[in-house]
Chain A
């Protein structure tokens, strides 16, 4: 597979390691009343779509960017690649 890195252009998938669902970015608030339940759901419950999937890839043998790759799990078509940091900021994450 070829991943279109937003900064570096097309790179071979062999340069990356895979983590999983991009929802890993949405780490819950540790001070919420139901933090234990929120953390459990965040860590263990995942969708397993046949189709578009947003997932985290790490450019380990490259610039060490974490990327959010939108990939179709049926065809492997990659429709979007974003810097995970930008995605996290858009989701309201900061410090």
Chain B
């Protein structure tokens, strides 16, 4: 199809032609076009269907405020819904589709909603889907879900990269219109470090869309010169296609750069978008203003748009949505549009001005219109899929129908105050321009200039921009000379407007928010039903929600509500402004943190070796740990785990325990320090010994447990659980710096410095004998249970040996510098061959600790005290330690307090699950009968049946009692017997042997 609506001039590159499709049909455009401008050039005005009533819609605007022209771009995994055609830069091969219609854009079955509109007013859902209650989940929700939403997702992973970056500057200039460019030139020439950002791909803002001249040059030429000058400066970073999306504390701004959105696919190595975090000393809001519409009956037809958009399409994109255009205005902007369009050969069918006292057109010979109505209004329009005519009510009350295929509407301008209000600052109302402007309380370090401040003339923007930049830099101690303001001609008369917000005509609907299908009637209903505060109005009607956030609708909606309540607009106020200013893809927030890079992965020193052995891994925090090591022929994880447990208890097994937190503690007061952070006594731990330590929070709940070894005088090594390695370290630093600042104690995390392996089983010593250098005596007498020492292994490699046992077997933990971890595990396996050594994973580790009755994460669950875990007597009352005072509270020492005990099924063939609750035999499964709960459960290969640990009321005094372990979620009820938690070797003979 030919571009029949193309005009002369504009800032498009006619030397190149770009092909694209919309709903499968092929069209052409040029570089410099947006999808919307190219479609209009091809006489396509209909671009979408509205959200609720499925009304046919075309673009209202030529910018990011667009409520209507939302389309799906691209295909396959790059398919992107709800993209604004007015900001989508055209590229060759672009595939676009309309949304929210079936079977086609011109014939949409759901258009029936429009006929049902009397039933679908605001609050319809709240009122209708209340009853019957059980219909909600099964019937209403699925139907509403199917009907809701506009575009669709590809359901495929996004193939593109998104990036995050950090930038710093003295002055961030938000918006590169006349004010922003003047500010950037002023500050740039003064040598300040500045960032100039604009969401558009062209700098210049309205200068691209108007016809008046600066220094006898078209505005766009002046912009090009300014840009070239700025880009040549080392201290200036010009960022086009970059929307500043949020104002945060202390001069931090978020910015979304659409790096590759204007290409079919990103160039190799380039991200699709980058989310920047800009830290700046000062910021200048030069975000301009957005024109607003007037709500008149049937004001939403394709072809009806903002007057400023008509000008932008004509002057910048060389496009008109129709050859016969009418204008509806309450200010001089409408007249300016008529002049510009007439100059391009477009017929002006009528100018409908709500003001009575504007002069006739004759003084300005360039404004020609077939009709000029003053004190008139548009009361209806016609044309189902595109505008065909308007009906005007003249000052005298006469109705006149005028044929036209496009209509420009101007209801005044709203400054873009959003970024000035992101920290709860409220904009203030100015009666003279009938608009909100940023108030006196701006975010710290921010100033506003130009149209964003309510200064709408180009001269005022240029002047305001340069003055604001000077003022901002002066605060930083930089004196910047004022920029000479370019001579400006042809902008015409001052901005005179009369506030007209909406027009009534019987029962016809007048749209306020086109994106959410909110009409004047809906606002009236909201008022009638008591939802009068602006925040209520927003939620009741959905006014101002979704991708455009009501940029063209909110103020009009407020004005209508103000009229209804009899308040002023200033009293009515605005809703809260929140980031992001522009829609931001979740992918941009995620950046590179996706898939395997979602978060860092920590691998143990034996990871590579375990991988070679075919280990199955489990995530524990950031760590990947071997969970079990399947052997050929093993088909179920239990086979592998049972084998690992039995082999360890029979001979010897090895497990990588590097992930346990290790904290090196040194200093003259190290013993004092340990004695205070552990609830049990630590002051007199001799050199060469390890002790179990229980760490409490101040409220007496257990924080963590582990062992601490006294290696040499004033040098200890503490271990923590894997999960709490970070939080315990933070806690110790708190104690050291905040509670006892003069203790001579220093700590450092050495978790990553040492590879550590548990070697457990009756042959543990025999295996170690082959690894540890001969001069170290490992006999039970020389190196008994709970001994520790600095030693050497494998002919001189420094190592640490601890005789501690989590499994209940004769066991050691051997640590070597991390770099030797891989070699050590291989050596242990090689040397252990004669003992049939097995590697075991976290599952076997867990089974053996449950068999031994050791508390672990399931029991140290943030609700249990030392008493609950059977370690109440460990809490020393003779010393000051964290948690000791509040451990003594009455409620934590009740006679029937939960205590940790073992459980086994009365019938050994039966099983139960962790999380089961204990109920007395024959008792009902109600909370009143709850006696506690099962914390850890496993199959014990040693005993041949299920065993469990649990917290039972007064459990330690109930050995032999029978209870029910019930799990209503799984439908389980198992009779269990209360037994000692020490299922294996209760006397501890093995670990001392």
- Point out residues on A near B: beta carbons under 8 Å: 1-2, 12, 17, 19, 24-25, 27, 30-31, 35-36, 39-40, 43, 56, 58, 60, 64-66, 75-78, 83-85, 87-89, 93-95
- CB contacts (< 8 Å) of B249 on chain A: these are 1-2, 76
Least CB distance from A23 to B in Å reads 11
Least CB distance from B170 to A in Å reads 14
Q: Report yes or no: B888 in contact with A36, Cβ–Cβ below 8 A.
A: yes
Q: Report yes or no: B738 in contact with A88, Cβ–Cβ below 8 A.
A: yes
- Point out residues on B near A: beta carbons under 8 Å: 248-252, 279, 423, 444, 669, 672, 698-699, 726, 730, 733-734, 737-743, 880, 884-886, 888-889
Q: Report yes or no: A88 in contact with B739, Cβ–Cβ below 8 A.
A: yes
- CB contacts (< 8 Å) of B279 on chain A: these are 2, 12
In the complex, the chain B residue whose C-beta lies closest to that of A44 is: B699
Least CB distance from B317 to A in Å reads 42
Q: For the complex, what is the distance from the CA of A25 to the CA of B736, rounded to whole Å?
A: 11
Q: Report yes or no: A88 in contact with B737, Cβ–Cβ below 8 A.
A: yes
- CB contacts (< 8 Å) of B740 on chain A: these are 93-95
Q: For the complex, what is the distance from the CA of A1 to the CA of B279, rounded to whole Å?
A: 10
Instruction: Enumerate 27 A-B pairs (CB-CB under 8 Å) in ascending A order.
Output: A1-B250, A1-B252, A2-B252, A2-B279, A12-B279, A17-B730, A24-B734, A24-B738, A30-B885, A39-B698, A39-B886, A43-B886, A58-B730, A58-B734, A66-B733, A66-B737, A76-B250, A83-B737, A84-B737, A88-B738, A88-B741, A93-B738, A93-B740, A93-B741, A94-B741, A95-B740, A95-B743
Total of A-B residue pairs, C-beta within 8 Å: 80
- CB contacts (< 8 Å) of B741 on chain A: these are 85, 88-89, 93-94
Q: Report yes or no: A95 in contact with B886, Cβ–Cβ below 8 A.
A: no
Known pairs A27-B739, A58-B730 / 5 extra A-B pairs, C-beta < 8 Å: A17-B730, A25-B738, A36-B885, A76-B250, A89-B742
- CB contacts (< 8 Å) of B669 on chain A: these are 95
Q: Which 4 A-B residue pairs are closest in the complex by CB-CB distance?
A: A2-B250, A30-B880, A94-B742, A76-B249
In the complex, the chain A residue whose C-beta lies closest to that of B749 is: A64
Q: For the complex, what is the distance from the CA of A27 to the CA of B734, rounded to whole Å?
A: 12
Q: For the complex, what is the distance from the CA of A65 to the CA of B885, rounded to whole Å?
A: 27
In the complex, the chain B residue whose C-beta lies closest to that of A28 is: B885
Q: For the complex, what is the distance from the CA of A94 to the CA of B672, rounded to whole Å?
A: 13
- CB contacts (< 8 Å) of A27 on chain B: these are 698, 739
Main secondary structure of the interface of A (DSSP, over half): mixed
Q: Report yes or no: B743 in contact with A78, Cβ–Cβ below 8 A.
A: no
Q: Report yes or no: A85 in contact with B738, Cβ–Cβ below 8 A.
A: yes
Q: For the complex, what is the distance from the CA of A24 to the CA of B730, rounded to whole Å?
A: 14
- CB contacts (< 8 Å) of A56 on chain B: these are 734, 738
Q: A76-B250, A95-B669 are in contact. Are A19 and B889 (CB under 8 A)?
A: no
Least CB distance from A54 to B in Å reads 12
Q: For the complex, what is the distance from the CA of A36 to the CA of B883, rounded to whole Å?
A: 11
Q: Report yes or no: A65 in contact with B251, Cβ–Cβ below 8 A.
A: no
Q: For the complex, what is the distance from the CA of A78 to the CA of B252, rounded to whole Å?
A: 14
Least CB distance from A31 to B in Å reads 8
In the complex, the chain A residue whose C-beta lies closest to that of B733 is: A64
Q: For the complex, what is the distance from the CA of A37 to the CA of B56, rounded to whole Å?
A: 71
- CB contacts (< 8 Å) of A12 on chain B: these are 279
Looking at A66, A78, A89, which has the most chain B CB atoms within 10 Å of its CB? A66
Q: For the complex, what is the distance from the CA of A56 to the CA of B733, rounded to whole Å?
A: 12
- CB contacts (< 8 Å) of B726 on chain A: these are 60
Least CB distance from B741 to A in Å reads 4
Q: Report yes or no: A65 in contact with B737, Cβ–Cβ below 8 A.
A: yes
- Cβ-neighbour of B444 out of A19, A77, A83 (below 8 A): A77
- CB contacts (< 8 Å) of B742 on chain A: these are 89, 93-95
Least CB distance from A13 to B in Å reads 8
Q: For the complex, what is the distance from the CA of A37 to the CA of B991, rounded to whole Å?
A: 43
Q: For the complex, what is the distance from the CA of A19 to the CA of B741, rounded to whole Å?
A: 18
